Amino acid sequence: MRIVVSGYYGFGNAGDEAVLQGLLASLREAAGDEALHVTVLSGDPAATAAQHGVEAVPRQHAGAVRGALRRADLLISGGGGLLQDRTSARSPLYYLGVIAMARALRVPVYLYGQGVGPIRRPWLQRVAAMCLKSVAGAGVRDEASARRLLELGVPRERIAVTADAAFALAPPGAAAREAARNRLGPADRRLIGVVWRSPWVEEGIGESGRHTVRRGVAEAVARFAQAHGGSVVVFPFHPEMDEEDAVRFAGEVAAEGADAVRWPGDAAMSFAGEPAAPAGPWMTLLAAVDVALCVRFHGLVFAAMAGVPAVALAYDPKVRHLAEDLGVPWFAPGAGPEAIREALEQVWAEREAVSRKLSARAAELRTRARAEGKRAIELARKARC
């Protein structure tokens, strides 16, 4: 059985690499003893092949992509927020183009763990409708995405609300968390983890606007840390995009008088004997903090998996949808420091109950995420008949 996977892989983003890890784990579990050959379209094929144990080809090399699809029983498009034009129109056009190529070659397509939309450009909506109406199946990670696919003409019976593929992964073990905790800071201090991302960067907002957001969140986090004897650790999950702003954020927290550090990250990190993996160290580090503020979507996923009380800065509807699904407080980028600190205080005051609730919900989503692998494998088997 041969499957091609199309997504935002090979770019050093911990969240997307966790999606690929979870997707592959679910496929391999569902395939059982049957031989499974996966080819991933990647921005860094050598790294993807080495890190995930798959074949990988350059995602922008049309000949290589076509060659992989010619041999495939199924194209998986996903997971993650691939079909949206918030970042640019180029991104969804690329993924829709791969889907169109697969259909031209008579390869069935499965949308896997997708967060669909927003697609704001009318001409792009028409293109998406043309490409998606014939998909063999679609797993989406929220109800809003399901509604968008219905609006684009995907038949209802082909759509299932599942979960983000990263939820298929097992949370870090106790020994690994303890080892990570020892790396992060003194045992007698609370740790506040911040999974930072510069909000509004795709919207063309200038540095002054981003500074206003950073300053408000930094002030709230600093006050919370000071009130609870804590240290702030800032995690840039996608260093290429997040690093510079994460350094600035940590500096602004420190300027407010709180202890703060930007964790540098290292792809070779491992804890308590657990193997290093593209997303594994970040998952373990976040699992070691006492409370988390998450701007990135997968920061919130990782926190839920580990039962870490969390709040979300919902710079994008996908973050709000996940926060609401998990039952954790969220705020918009324009929220004031007092509102942000109030959200942190709320989850901290109820941290034991919040932790139990998050762990239970993450377990439900893990079951959904793993079931999606079964649906994809069934479609691939059907295509071979």
For the stretch 120-150, pLDDT in tens is 999 999 999 999 999 999 999 999 999 999 9
The identity of residue 174, as a single letter, is: A
Residues 59 and 121 in one domain: yes
**Residue-level pLDDT at 41:** 98
**Residue-level pLDDT at 267:** 45
Residues 374 and 297 in one domain: no
CB atoms within 10 A of CB 285: 27
Residue 37 has pLDDT above 70, yes or no: yes
Q: What is the pLDDT of residues 302-354, one digit of tens each?
A: 999 999 999 999 988 899 999 999 999 999 888 899 999 999 999 999 999 99
Extended beta strands in 97-209, E state: 109-114, 137-140, 159-161, 190-195
Residues 148 and 40 in one domain: yes
- SS3 of residue 166 by DSSP: helix
The answer to whether residue 357 sits within a structural domain is no
Q: Please state, in angstroms and rounded to a whole number, the distance separating the CA atoms of residues 269 and 180.
A: 10
Q: Within its chain, how far is the Cα of 236 from the centroid? A: 13
**Residue-level pLDDT at 263:** 77
The answer to whether residue 354 sits within a structural domain is no
Range of the domain at 281: 174-349
The answer to whether residue 361 sits within a structural domain is no
Residues 207 and 82 in one domain: no
Residues 186 and 312 in one domain: yes
The answer to whether residue 359 sits within a structural domain is no
Q: Which helix (H) or strand (E) holds 262?
A: strand 259-262
Q: Please state, in angstroms and rounded to a whole number, the distance separating the CA atoms of residues 29 and 253.
A: 44
Checking DSSP bridges between strand 230-235 and strand 190-195, what pairing results, if any? parallel
Q: Please state, in angstroms and rounded to a whole number, the distance separating the CA atoms of residues 332 and 268.
A: 35
Residue 270 has pLDDT above 90, yes or no: no
Q: Please state, in angstroms and rounded to a whole number, the distance separating the CA atoms of residues 72 and 380.
A: 9
Q: What is the pLDDT of residues 142-195, one digit of tens each?
A: 999 999 999 999 999 999 999 999 999 999 889 989 988 988 877 788 999 999
Q: Tell me phi and psi for residue 159, to 5 degrees.
A: -105, 135
**Under the phi-then-psi rule, with left for phi > 0, alpha for psi from -120 to 50, and beta for the rest, what region is 79?**
beta
Domain tally for the chain?
2
The answer to whether residue 278 sits within a structural domain is yes
The answer to whether residue 7 sits within a structural domain is yes
The answer to whether residue 356 sits within a structural domain is no
The answer to whether residue 355 sits within a structural domain is no
Residues 218 and 138 in one domain: no
Residue 264 has pLDDT above 70, yes or no: no
Q: Tell me phi and psi for residue 277, to 5 degrees.
A: -145, 165
Q: Please state, in angstroms and rounded to a whole number, the distance separating the CA atoms of residues 317 and 336.
A: 19
Quickly state the pLDDT bin for 384 (edges 50, 70, 90). confident
**Residue-level pLDDT at 67:** 98
The identity of residue 204, as a single letter, is: G
**Residue-level pLDDT at 367:** 97
Residue 266 has pLDDT above 60, yes or no: no
Q: Within its chain, how far is the Cα of 213 from the centroid? A: 22
* CATH assignment of the domain containing 81: 3.40.50.2000
Residues 308 and 344 in one domain: yes
How does 156-191 read in b/e, with b if 16+ C-beta sit within 10 Å? eebbeebbbbbbbbebbeeebbebbbeebbeeeebb
**Residue-level pLDDT at 87:** 73
Residues 45 and 184 in one domain: no
Residues 155 and 37 in one domain: yes
Tokens matching residue 62: 């049309």
Residues 195 and 264 in one domain: yes
Residues 214 and 302 in one domain: yes
Residues 195 and 145 in one domain: no
- SS3 of residue 276 by DSSP: coil
* Residue in 368, 378, 374 with CA at minimum distance from that of residue 140: 368
**Residue-level pLDDT at 108:** 97
